[in-house]
Amino acid sequence: MHFYDFDFDDDLLDGIDAMGYTTATPVQEQVIPIILSGKDLIASAQTGTGKTAAFLLPVIQNLLTHTHDANQINSMIIVPTRELAVQIAQALEGMSYFTNISSIAVYGGGDGNSFALEKKALSSGADIVICTPGRMIAHLNMGYVKLQGLKYLVLDEADRMLDMGFHDDIEKIISYLPKDRQTLLFSATMPDKMRKLALKILKDPEQVNIAISKPPEKIVQEAFVVHEDQKAPLIKHVLEGRPKESVIIFCSRKQNVKQLSQLLKKARFSVEEIHSDLEQDKREQALLDFKNKKLNILVATDILSRGIDIEDIDLVINYDVPNDGEDYIHRIGRTARAATDGTAYTFITPREQGRFSRIEQLLGHEVVKNPVPEAFGPAPVYQPKSRKSGGGGGGGGNRQGKGGYRKGGKPHGGKRPGHQHAKNKGERDSKPQNP
């Protein structure tokens, strides 16, 4: 299904075309017509399925074709992390480039100027606000946020927000919103707590379930069964064999990120860290340096596993086994993007074997276990089914990055020189990407 089949506004189609998108993904095909019809929605879909465009495009279309108050906030998208807020803001800027849509990304970690810019937009009105819960509540507590005219609310990665403890913050934000609105909830999983929240804030919602995606077949998945004290020497051994490659190392705790980053810096690797304790400008600079190949290695918590689009990553290492299979898929999905191949290694300690076994069940196959070099001493045996909970292992074995307020307006008259609308062209260029 092509995007012009949705009968989008020509200016919106211009933005889609300029970004090189042509064919809708399955989640977009199912979700966009529901949102355009005005119904509430619960969509179970992961990052990487095209869900960002699935809600952005119809919200932009509705704002372009329905009356709304320019002096109010008309749409709010609530997300769990600053990185995801920036990512959505950048996608929104591209899609709405030839329209008059105004937008603002509202998240913590900036300086006083950022807060003042956010305050100006929230008090004077914006078509679309993308925000993290804590930052939005900071503004709401000051009493100037104009929400009376809000028509569209999107909760993106809602399960993640609940996992991060934002349940009360979300309910507080919703208490400020008009009851007469369209609410869209996107979540990779649907635990009981999520269903209760959905029943509370949505009205007779349509439901769309996109099956949990398996990792691309071109990702080579391998693991090492190790004792905890074997992780550090093993990771240096692995990285020494890949001196020029782009590598992301995921840790489950930010303390592990800090310790591992310092260890690798002392070993003279080109490495930086990303976690929630780091100032936002330093996180953004580390990401930029990594994207521009000025930096080879990023050590990060799971804040980097969702909603970050970095291509040409050669290797992902799970220094700690992720908490569940979906986190595993998100992590290793950072590699083998676009037309490239990629590799994912996971370090499995004895206490993590049961968890990794459940990941293998989700994958539908066992992951190859590589031998640990003899120089690092005897490694545990991988025997997850025979282990008691908490038991040990056996002997050997083997464009809008800083939340800037964008007041819409068609640049240079709103049309790119020589460009024709899709409806006039009859067909669009066939490019393989999807938003």
- Mean pLDDT within 94-111: 91
For 358-385, give the DSSP string: HHHHHHTSPPEEEPPPGGG-------TT
Tens-place pLDDT, residues 246-292:
999 999 888 999 999 999 999 999 999 988 788 878 888 888 899 88
pLDDT band at 83 (very low <50, low <70, confident <90, very high): confident
Domain(s) labelled CATH 3.40.50.300 in the chain stretch across: 3-212+405-425, 219-376
249 contacts 295 by C-beta, under 8 angstroms:
no
Query: pLDDT higher for 21 or 52?
Result: 52
On whether the CB atoms of residues 27 and 49 are closer than 8 A, the answer is yes
Q: What is the pLDDT of residue 217?
A: 74
Average pLDDT, the chain: 83
What's the rounded Cα separation, in Å, for the pair 227 and 218? 29
Cα distance between the two ends of the chain: 14
Compare 290 and 305 and report the one with higher pLDDT: 290
Q: Which CATH superfamily is domain 3-212+405-425 in?
A: P-loop containing nucleotide triphosphate hydrolases (3.40.50.300)
pTM above 0.75, yes or no: no
pLDDT at 309: 61
Average pLDDT for 201-213: 84
* Region 45-58 average pLDDT: 82
Q: Are 318 and 356 in contact (CB under 8 A)?
A: no
pLDDT at position 306: 58
- Quick one: what percent of the chain has pLDDT higher than 70? 83
- 434 pLDDT higher than 70: no
Give 149-170 pLDDT, tens digit per residue: 999 999 999 988 988 889 999 9
Residue 321 above 70 pLDDT? yes
pLDDT tens, residue by residue, 13-49:
999 988 878 888 888 999 999 999 999 999 987 656 6
Among the residue ranges 142-151, 361-370, 372-381, the one predicted with the least confidence is 361-370
In whole angstroms, what is the distance from residue 165 CA to residue 4 CA?
40
Task: Specify the pLDDT at position 339.
Answer: 47
- The pLDDT-based confidence of 135 (bands split at 50, 70, 90) is very high
Nearest 5°: CA angle at 372, between 366 and 375?
175
Provide mean pLDDT across the span 191-215.
Answer: 83
Task: For residue 337, name the pLDDT band (cuts at 50, 70, 90).
Answer: low
Amino acid 142: pLDDT = 95
- CA 50 to chain CA centroid, nearest Å: 11
How far apart are the C-alpha atoms of 401 and 38, rounded to whole Å?
A: 30
The mean pLDDT of 204-208, rounded to a whole number, is 92
Q: What percent of the chain has pLDDT over 90?
A: 53
Q: What is the pLDDT of residue 422?
A: 39
Round to whole Å and give the CA distance between 421 and 14: 6
Q: What pLDDT is recorded for position 341?
A: 73
User: Is the per-residue pLDDT at 427 higher than 80?
Assistant: no
Q: Which CATH architecture has domain 219-376?
A: 3-Layer(aba) Sandwich (3.40)
Contact 75, 152 (CB under 8 A): yes
What is the pLDDT at residue 325? 73
